[in-house]
């Protein structure tokens, strides 16, 4: 990523206030601990869903061709696992800065102006994800109120829909994190968060 290249070592060509930021404060340390836990949960959840879905697919195929039977709930479970993986994976992609983007304008701007533009885009993305999460909560509440169940597994449908507000909330957090980080870099500060700037 372009913004990653602007990180320099403490005290090497940085403004005085940047050197002062080299020692992380209490908030930065607390955030780093929270971020580490959240990263672990995101990665573990995606790995678990992917692994279980793969096993279910294999078992269903073997059951169909060997025992002339099938897991009636298997395809549905895989579909809903993919939904959860997509939304949690969206947070991981936002954290690493690998969402698809068009950076033609940033490439034409001076480095610092490009950073400010990137920070603004990330902030807008964060607000948009927050709006999506808010709207999705209404769908979850409506599904729970009507008692909707999935067709095969017969579990509450809102368990599946919850992937939307949770995933969008996580993306909101990650976009905001990156927006703050890039804005601090544009001001000449060291990054304030442990964002994956390498992308």
Task: Per residue of the chain (199 residues), give pLDDT as tens.
Answer: 444 444 444 344 444 444 444 556 887 788 888 989 999 999 999 999 999 999 999 998 998 888 888 888 889 999 999 999 999 999 999 988 888 777 777 777 788 888 888 899 999 999 999 999 999 999 999 999 999 998 889 999 999 999 999 999 999 999 999 999 888 888 876 555 555 543 3
Residue 7 within a domain? no
**What pLDDT, on the 0 to 100 scale, is given for residue 120?**
92
Using H for helix, E for strand and C for coil, what is the string for 69-132?
CCCCCHHHHHHHHHHHHHHHHHHHHHHHCCCCCCCHHHHHCCHHHHHHHHHHHHHHHHHHHHHH
Q: Is 12 inside any structural domain?
A: no
Residue 8 lies in a domain: no
**Whether the model pTM is above 0.85:** no
Residue 4 DSSP label: G
Domain-embedded: residue 13: no
Q: Indicate whether 20 belongs to any domain.
A: no
Asked if residue 67 belongs to a domain, the reply is yes
Distance (Å, whole) CA 30 – CA 104 = 36
Query: Which SS3 state, helix, strand or coil, does residue 156 take?
Result: strand
44-57 residues labelled b (16+ CB within 10 A) or e (exposed):
eebeebeeebeebb
Beta bridge mates, 156: 149
| Domain that residue 34 falls in | 25-186
Distance separating alpha carbons of residues 9 and 161, to the nearest angstrom: 44
| Nearest-angstrom CA–CA distance, 74 and 89 | 22
pLDDT for res 100: 77
10 in a structural domain:
no
Query: Domain total for the chain?
Result: 1
Residue 15 lies in a domain: no
């Amino acid at each position: 990523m372009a913004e990653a290249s602007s990180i320099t070592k403490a005290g090497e060509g940085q403004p005085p206030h940047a050197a002062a930021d080299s020692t992380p404060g209490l908030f930065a340390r607390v955030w780093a601990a929270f971020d580490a836990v959240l990263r672990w949960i995101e990665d573990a959840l995606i790995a678990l869903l992917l692994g279980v879905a793969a096993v279910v697919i294999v078992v269903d195929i073997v059951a169909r061709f060997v025992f002339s039977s099938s897991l009636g709930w298997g395809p549905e479970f895989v579909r809903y696992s993919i939904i959860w993986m997509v939304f949690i994976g969206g947070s991981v992609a936002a954290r690493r800065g690998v969402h698809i983007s068009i950076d033609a304008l940033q490439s034409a701007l001076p480095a610092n102006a490009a950073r400010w533009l990137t920070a603004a885009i990330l902030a807008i993305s964060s607000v948009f994800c927050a709006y999506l999460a808010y709207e999705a909560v209404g769908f979850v509440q409506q599904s729970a109120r009507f008692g909707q169940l999935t067709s095969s597994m017969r579990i509450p449908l809102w368990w599946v829909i919850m992937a939307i507000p949770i995933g969008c909330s996580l993306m909101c957090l990650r976009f905001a994190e990156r927006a703050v980080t890039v804005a601090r870099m544009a001001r000449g500060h060291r990054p304030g968060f442990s964002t994956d700037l390498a992308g």
